[in-house]
């Protein structure tokens, strides 16, 4: 019963979203170059929400709903903490519910967690701030403030029924070599109509490279992780249609375009076990696979 209702809501959500995208694309056509910088806006969460209206009443429910709103309209809500055109749900699809779409279901139960990237035990608040700093190319929010309180409460809400410490099924893409020349062709054929020929995004569609994208230290800046996301979720209106080879090629292409830098990235993976698709050298070990990316200087404006 619950599931059926959710499927229907999800289908409606997808349709609404695509209509919004179609409209945005149609409107953008006339003045695409001028719109590139200012045209990318965070969509209003209400029009497309699949949000579960059975959330608790009272102050707890209000906190869940506010956390949800912050993840849906991150940049508009917390402008001084977001240095990109992305919102949390740009990557954590279907409001954090989509399996294979960087689902946030159960994330709350997996922290505290020892993480290799920083070589320390992270709380859920640290993990949220990692995405603010890297994926949103922004700044950490106060770990003990009301915004964090509401975000963590939404993550708690997404973990209903998940046992503490349940791990996600780990997935990977085949170990194929990626080719950026092929990737450029795939991007032009399957992605540019929404993300723009220069990856700049348009209307409700977020950028995939450039000054308003995720920075070089983000999980998606690792092309194998990006490939897995693309394989199962893109093109947005026709997912699961690329081959693993195509997903790797196009992800590698995107991740070798310019994007914001991240100060201090050399200290990542301090114990030296850096994955091969990390696009920058670290102090603890030589580059494995030597994948490189160009970066924009981080100008400290955000």
Query: In the complex, which residues of this chain contact ligand HEC (CB under 6 A)?
Result: 21, 71, 74, 86, 88-93, 102, 104, 107, 110, 127-128, 131-132, 135-136, 151, 155, 190-191, 193-195, 204-208, 213-214, 218-220, 225-226, 229-230, 234-237, 242, 250, 254
User: Residue 229: which of 206, 247, 245 has the closest Cα?
Assistant: 247
CB nearer ligand HEC, residue 69 or residue 250? 250
CB of 155 to ligand HEC, least distance (A): 6
Burial class (CB in 10 A: 0-12, 13-18, 19+), 39: buried
Measured CA to CA in angstroms, residue 88 lies from 47, 52, 73, 76, 210 at distances of: 17, 18, 8, 12, 18
Cα–Cα dist 142/2, whole Å: 36
CB nearer ligand HEC, residue 1 or residue 164? 164
Whether the Cβ atoms of residue 226 and residue 289 lie closer than 8 Å to each other: no
CB of 56 to ligand HEC, least distance (A): 20
Reading the block at residue 286, the tokens are 């030589």
CB nearer ligand HEC, residue 57 or residue 271? 271
CB of 132 to ligand HEC, least distance (A): 5
295-296/259-260 β-pairing: parallel
Q: Which residues are bridge partners to 120 per DSSP?
A: 115
CB nearer ligand HEC, residue 178 or residue 254? 254
CB of 17 to ligand HEC, least distance (A): 6
CB of 1 to ligand HEC, least distance (A): 26
Q: What is the CA radius of gyration of the chain?
A: 19
CB of 175 to ligand HEC, least distance (A): 18
CB of 52 to ligand HEC, least distance (A): 17
CB of 131 to ligand HEC, least distance (A): 3
CB nearer ligand HEC, residue 42 or residue 55? 42
Measured CA to CA in angstroms, residue 8 lies from 2, 3, 55, 97, 99 at distances of: 10, 9, 18, 14, 16
Cα–Cα dist 82/212, whole Å: 10
Whether the Cβ atoms of residue 65 and residue 24 lie closer than 8 Å to each other: no
DSSP state of 57: S
- Tokens 């200290």 appear where? 267
Whether the Cβ atoms of residue 182 and residue 105 lie closer than 8 Å to each other: no
CB nearer ligand HEC, residue 66 or residue 110? 110
CB nearer ligand HEC, residue 55 or residue 158? 158
Cα–Cα dist 115/119, whole Å: 6
CB nearer ligand HEC, residue 58 or residue 86? 86
């Amino acid at each position: 019963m619950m599931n059926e209702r959710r499927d229907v809501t999800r289908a409606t959500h997808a349709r609404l979203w695509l209509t919004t995208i179609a409209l945005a694309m149609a409107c953008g056509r006339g003045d695409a170059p001028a719109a590139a910088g200012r045209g990318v806006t965070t969509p209003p969460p209400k029009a497309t929400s699949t949000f579960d209206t059975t959330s608790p009443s009272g102050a707890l429910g209000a906190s869940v709903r506010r956390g949800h709103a912050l993840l849906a309209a991150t940049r508009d809500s917390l402008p001084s903490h977001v240095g990109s055109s992305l919102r949390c749900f740009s990557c954590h699809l279907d409001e954090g519910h989509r399996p294979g779409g960087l689902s946030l279901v159960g994330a709350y139960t997996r922290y505290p967690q020892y993480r290799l990237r920083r070589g320390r035990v992270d709380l859920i608040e640290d993990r949220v701030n990692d995405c603010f700093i890297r994926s949103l190319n922004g700044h950490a929010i106060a770990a003990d403030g009301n915004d964090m309180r509401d975000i963590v409460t939404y993550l708690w809400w997404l973990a209903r029924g998940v046992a503490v410490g349940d791990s996600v099924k780990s997935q990977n893409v085949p170990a194929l070599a990626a080719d950026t020349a092929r990737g450029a062709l795939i991007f032009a054929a399957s992605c540019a109509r929404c993300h723009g020929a220069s990856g700049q995004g348009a209307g409700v569609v977020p950028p995939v490279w450039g000054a308003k994208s995720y920075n070089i230290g983000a999980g998606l800046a690792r092309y194998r992780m990006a490939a897995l996301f693309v394989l199962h979720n893109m093109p947005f209106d026709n997912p699961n249609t690329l081959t693993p080879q195509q997903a790797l090629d196009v992800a590698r292409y995107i991740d070798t375009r310019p994007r914001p830098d991240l100060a201090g990235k050399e200290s990542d993976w301090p114990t030296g076990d850096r994955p091969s698709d990390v696009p920058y050298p670290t102090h603890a070990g030589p580059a494995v696979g030597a994948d490189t990316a160009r970066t924009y200087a981080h100008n400290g404006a955000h």
